Structure 1
Amino acid sequence: MEPMSTCKLFGAIRALIGIKNTIPVIHGPRGCAYHIRYLLSVRSGSKIRICSTELSQEDIVFGAENKLEETIIAVDRTYKPDLIPILTSCSTSIIGEDIQKVARELKDEINADIITISAGGFESDQSGGYEEVLETLIKDITIPNQTNEKAEKPSINLIGVFRGGPDLLKLKKTLKRMGVNINCVLTSGSKLEDIRNIPLAHLNYSFCDISGIIPCKILKEEFEMPFIYYPFPMGFSNSLNFFKTLIDHFKLDYPLQREYDKLKPSIDYFHQELNGYKAAIIAGPTRAIALTSFVRELGMTPILISIDLIGEYTLKELQWAIGDAKPKILIEPELREIEKFIEKEKPNIILGGLGESYFSYNFKIPVLDVMHGKELTLGFQGALTISQKILNLIKSNF
Structure 2
Amino acid sequence: MKQADLSISNEAEDDGSRQNDAPRRNGDYDDIRYNLLSDRTFLDIHGCTSRLAHYHGIDCKLSGSVYVVSEIEGALPLIHGVSGCAFHQRLSPRKLYSPVYTMACTNLVEEDIIYGGEEKLRHGIYDVYNRYRPKLIVVLPTCISGLMGEDVHSIIRDVKDDIPCNLVFVPSEGFAHRDHDSIDSIMQYVATSWKNTSQQFDFRGCGQVDMLASLAEQLMEEQDVIENSVNLESNGRYTYGFNLELQEVGRILGQMGVSINAVLPTTTVERIRQAPAAQLNIARSRTDKWAAYMRDEFGTDQIKKWPHNSGIEGTARFLQDVGSRLGLDGEAEAVIDVEKKRAAKDLAKIRRTLSGHSFAILSQNLIFNPHRMKVYLNDLMLPIKYICIDSLVLNRLKVSQETRDMMMKNMYGIFDEMTPGFQVLIDPSAEELHKVSKEVDYVLGEFITSPIHEKVSEIPVLDMSLLCNLLYRTSFSVIVELGRHLVQKINKPQINDRRLIVSRLKYNSPYYPMLDDPRISSSIGMWHGIWRATSSGGC
Range class of TM-score, shorter chain: 0.7 to 0.9
Q: State the match for 1:299 in structure 2.
A: 381
SS state of the match for residue 476, structure 2? helix
Q: Which amino acid is the alignment partner of residue 344 of structure 2?
A: K
Q: Distance in 2 between matches of 1:22 and 1:137?
A: 12
1:127–1:211: 8 Å Cα contact kept in structure 2? no
2:81–2:145: 8 Å Cα contact kept in structure 1? yes
Q: State the match for 1:151 in structure 2.
A: 226
Q: Could you tell me which runs of 5 or more consecutive residues in structure 2 were left unpaired when the two chains were aligned.
A: 1-51, 179-203, 400-405, 495-539
Q: Distance in 1 between matches of 2:234 and 2:94?
A: 20
CA deviation after TM superposition for structure 1 residue 155, in Å: 1.0
Aligned residues: 377
Q: Distance in 1 between matches of 2:157 and 2:338?
A: 56
Q: State the match for 1:135 in structure 2.
A: 213
Q: Distance in 1 between matches of 2:109 and 2:151?
A: 18
1:8–1:124: 8 Å Cα contact kept in structure 2? yes
Equivalences for residues 85-100 of structure 1 within 5 A:
85-100=138-153
Q: 1:111 to 1:231 in 2, by over 3 A?
A: same
1:350 paired to 2:445: yes
Q: 1:263 to 1:41 in 2, by over 3 A?
A: closer
TM-score using structure 1 length: 0.77
Equivalences for residues 1-398 of structure 1 within 5 A:
4=55, 6-40=59-93, 42-43=95-96, 45=98, 49-124=102-177, 127-142=205-220, 145-147=221-223, 149-152=224-227, 154-159=228-233, 161-163=235-237, 164-187=242-265, 189-207=266-284, 209-212=285-288, 214-231=289-306, 234-249=310-325, 250-251=327-328, 252-253=330-331, 254-274=334-354, 276-281=358-363, 288=369, 291-297=372-378, 298-300=380-382, 301=384, 302-304=387-389, 322=415, 323-324=417-418, 348-352=443-447, 365-370=461-466, 378-396=474-492, 398=494
Note the alpha carbon deviations across 1:1-32, whole angstroms, 9 max, x for none: x9938332122222332221110111122232
CA deviation after TM superposition for structure 1 residue 372, in Å: 11
CA deviation after TM superposition for structure 1 residue 304, in Å: 3.1
SS state of the match for residue 232, structure 2? strand
Q: 1:48 to 1:111 in 2, by over 3 A?
A: same
Q: Distance in 2 between matches of 1:190 and 1:341?
A: 51
Note the alpha carbon deviations across 1:10-68, whole angstroms, 9 max, x for none: 22222332221110111122232222222357446475533222333333333322222
SS state of the match for residue 262, structure 1? helix
1:339–1:359: 8 Å Cα contact kept in structure 2? no
SS state of the match for residue 338, structure 2? helix
1:157–1:201: 8 Å Cα contact kept in structure 2? yes
Q: Which amino acid is the alignment partner of residue 222 of structure 2?
A: Q
SS state of the match for residue 190, structure 1? coil
CA deviation after TM superposition for structure 1 residue 221, in Å: 2.1
Q: 1:131 to 1:262 in 2, by over 3 A?
A: closer
2:75–2:134: 8 Å Cα contact kept in structure 1? yes
Q: Distance in 2 between matches of 1:397 and 1:127?
A: 46
Q: 1:123 to 1:47 in 2, by over 3 A?
A: closer
1:166–1:376: 8 Å Cα contact kept in structure 2? no
Q: State the match for 2:11 in structure 1.
A: none
Q: Which amino acid is the alignment partner of residue 236 of structure 1?
A: I
CA deviation after TM superposition for structure 1 residue 231, in Å: 4.8
Once the two structures are overlaid, the 10-residue window that deviates more, 4-13 or 375-384, is: 375-384
SS state of the match for residue 49, structure 1? coil
Note the alpha carbon deviations across 1:329-370, whole angstroms, 9 max, x for none: 8xxxxxxx9999998777823344xx7787699785343445
Q: Distance in 2 between matches of 1:43 and 1:357?
A: 21
Note the alpha carbon deviations across 1:74-128, whole angstroms, 9 max, x for none: 2212221111110111221122222222212211221221011121112215853
1:25–1:53: 8 Å Cα contact kept in structure 2? yes
2:61–2:207: 8 Å Cα contact kept in structure 1? yes
Q: Distance in 2 between matches of 1:376 and 1:284?
A: 15
Larger radius of gyration: 2
State the identity as a percent: 21
Aligned-residue CA RMSD in angstroms? 4.1
Q: Distance in 2 between matches of 1:202 and 1:243?
A: 15
SS state of the match for residue 131, structure 1? helix
